A and B are shown apart, each in its own frame.
Chain A
Amino acid sequence: MSTDSSSAASSASNGAASKSLADVSANRASHRTPGNNPIGSGLEARGVHAWFSKHHALSNVSLDFAAGTVTALIGPSGCGKSTFIRTLNRMHEFIPGAAMAGEVLLDGKDVYADGIDVTKIRLQIGMVFQKPNPFPSMTIGENVLSGLKLAQIKAENKDDLLEECLVRSGLWNEVKDRLDAHAGGLSGGQQQRLCIARALAVKPKVLLMDEPCSALDPGSTLRIEDTIVELAKSITIVIVTHNMQQAARVSDYTAFFLSDGGPGQMIEVGPTNEIFSRPSDQRTENYVSGRFG
Chain B
Amino acid sequence: MSSAVLPGSATPKARQITTNPRTSDKVFRGVVTSFGFSALVLLTLIGIFLAVRGFQTFSTEGFHFVTGFKWDVSTDEAGKITYDMGIGAMLVGTVLVSTVALIVGVPLSVSVALFLTFYAPARIKTLLVSVVDLMASFPSVLFGLWGFFVLMPMATYWAKLIYKYLHWIPIFSAPQPYFERSPFIAGLVLAIMIIPIVTSVSREVFAQTPLDRVQAAYALGATKWGMIRAVVLPFGSSGVVGGAMLGLGRAFGETVAVYTILNLVFRPNWHVLFGAGGNIASLIILKWGEATGLETKALLAAGFILFLMTLVVNMAANFIVSRTLKSGK
Q: Which residues of A contact B (CB under 8 A)?
A: 89, 91, 94, 119-120, 122-123, 126-127, 129, 131, 133-137, 146-147, 149-152, 195, 198-199, 202
Contact = CB atoms under 8 A, between A and B. Distances in A.
A151 B221 contact: yes
Nearest to B226: A150
A135 B213 contact: yes
Nearest to B217: A150
Interface stretch (B25-33, B65-73, B229-237): B229-237
Contact of B227 (A129, A150, A199): A150
Given A150-B227, A151-B226, A133 B220 contact: no
B213 A120 contact: no
Interface of B: 210, 212-213, 215-223, 226-227, 230-231, 234-235, 329
B214 to A, nearest CB: 8
Given A135-B231, A146-B230, A150-B227, A94 B215 contact: yes
A123 B221 CA distance: 5
Nearest to A201: B220
Given A91-B219, A133-B216, 15 more contacts: A119-B222, A119-B223, A120-B221, A126-B220, A129-B216, A131-B212, A133-B212, A133-B215, A135-B213, A135-B234, A150-B221, A150-B230, A151-B226, A152-B226, A199-B220
A260 to B, nearest CB: 30
A198 B222 CA distance: 13
A202 B221 contact: yes
A122 B220 contact: yes
A137 B221 CA distance: 19
Contact of B213 (A89, A91, A94, A133): A133
Contacts of B234: 135, 137
A198 B220 CA distance: 8
B29 to A, nearest CB: 41
Nearest to A89: B219
Q: Main SS of chain B's interface residues? A: helix
Contacts of B216: 129, 133-135, 195, 198
A120 B222 CA distance: 9
B232 to A, nearest CB: 11
Contacts of A136: 213, 329
A122 B213 contact: no
Contacts of A133: 210, 212-213, 215-216
Contact of B220 (A131, A137, A202): A202
A195 B329 CA distance: 18
Contact of B329 (A94, A137, A199): A137
Best-buried of B212, B216, B217, B226 by chain A (most CB within 10 Å): B216
8 contacts: A120-B221, A122-B221, A129-B215, A129-B219, A137-B235, A146-B230, A150-B230, A151-B222
Nearest to B231: A135
B74 to A, nearest CB: 59
Contacts of A89: 219
A91 B231 contact: no
Contacts of B221: 119-120, 122-123, 147, 150-151, 202
A37 B234 CA distance: 42
Contacts of A146: 217, 220, 230
Contact of B230 (A119, A120, A122, A135): A135
Given A119-B223, A133-B213, A91 B230 contact: no
A122 B217 CA distance: 10
A202 B212 CA distance: 19
A5 B218 CA distance: 32
Contact of A129 (B212, B223, B235, B329): B212
A199 B219 contact: yes
B255 to A, nearest CB: 40
Nearest to B220: A147
A237 to B, nearest CB: 15
A149 B221 CA distance: 10
Contacts of A147: 220-221
A119 B223 CA distance: 6
